[in-house]
Chains A and B, each alone.
Chain A
């Protein structure tokens, strides 16, 4: 399987804005057919990565390949395979919905007009409605429907759920999932709604401060992390064979989020399976406080205290 061409592959990819790196040393490999979540704080480089993958901006370092080709070179063939939805959801506000669809049809040879009309009629958005008069949720749905009608092999969605109420979020996710249900489309979407993503994604990329912290199968990420709870007196050393990602303590308790390769059997620790949200937050919190130092097996946990 690993021999198959990845939907998206980056090798040492970087983007510099003046002196500051927006993304640095980013190497990820997203297999085809996945739905991947791209998470991280604002300014972590999520949009920068998506825009380079979409061929909109040029890398300052490294390479990006979409189905084996650079979206910056060999442009037409590759760009036809990519659907990119900017977080601003660019639509012509003065256009009517039907005009937007015809516009999309002219520009995209692969355009599925039946599907586009189907999406909008299911959503109850009339073709003669002015785009600018639609609610934020409906505008998001029109923008998503246009993106899907292009029938891209790789869908890049920058914060598609932002500014939407819970009902609109659900509607948009169902529109997206129904359209990619045949497993032929690879999706990479950035979002802050980690709890929502846990059931939707099967791949996760965690970015922080312009760097990749994790890029892996969701199942593997969940299986290889554990939350260990011990008493402050008894548990002064992390169990053998684990890597400590984050540590929180109270007067009586120590809680470690650890990366494991084997089940933890040390009886001084209570072992809990963390949720995706707990794992992501542990990485991001430690990164933001600058303490993401990895404690190796047997090292003193106390030594980690600040």
Chain B
């Protein structure tokens, strides 16, 4: 029998200010944890029960987020055992790619500063930029 006594590897949090659907926030947080190296291939995600006793969220939303991550190949479900980070997940974005993207982002942030935007205004723009275009109206 699988024992859930250990601490979950990551903690989720929901931010009502982002306007992002809760399941989207969970998906993003797992992806981010994988790309930052907080979660390694073979790591088990918290069980649905663990998540809903930690953040106040509908269990179906957690299932949906995990299904989406499975669909993307970030995690895989093993029946009766839980949901695990796949071997391919972390290698999808290489360290070099990430470094290049970060460098480009820094350049862009520099331009935004020179254009007179402060940190909050930049964060707001980034939040808009990651949303699908059809629901955004500036």
Contact = CB atoms under 8 A, between A and B. Distances in A.
Contacts of B106: none
Contact of A200 (B49, B53, B56, B137): B56
Interface stretch (A8-16, A175-183, A206-214): A175-183
Nearest to A34: B60
B63 interface: yes
B54 A174 contact: yes
Interface residues of B, number: 21
B134 A263 contact: yes
A183 B60 contact: yes
A273 B135 contact: yes
B52 interface: yes
A195 interface: yes
B60 A177 contact: no
Interface in B47-91: 47-49, 52-61, 63
Given A263-B134, A270-B137, A271-B137, A200 B60 contact: no
B135 to A, nearest CB: 6
B137 A272 contact: yes
Contact of B53 (A177, A195, A199): A177
A196 interface: yes
A168 to B, nearest CB: 13
B16 A200 contact: no
B57 A177 contact: yes
Contacts of B37: none
11 contacts: A35-B58, A175-B53, A177-B52, A177-B56, A180-B59, A181-B47, A182-B49, A199-B56, A199-B57, A199-B58, A275-B16
Interface of B: 14, 16, 19, 22, 47-49, 52-61, 63, 134-135, 137
Interface of A: 33, 35, 170, 173-175, 177-178, 180-183, 195-196, 198-202, 263, 270-273, 275
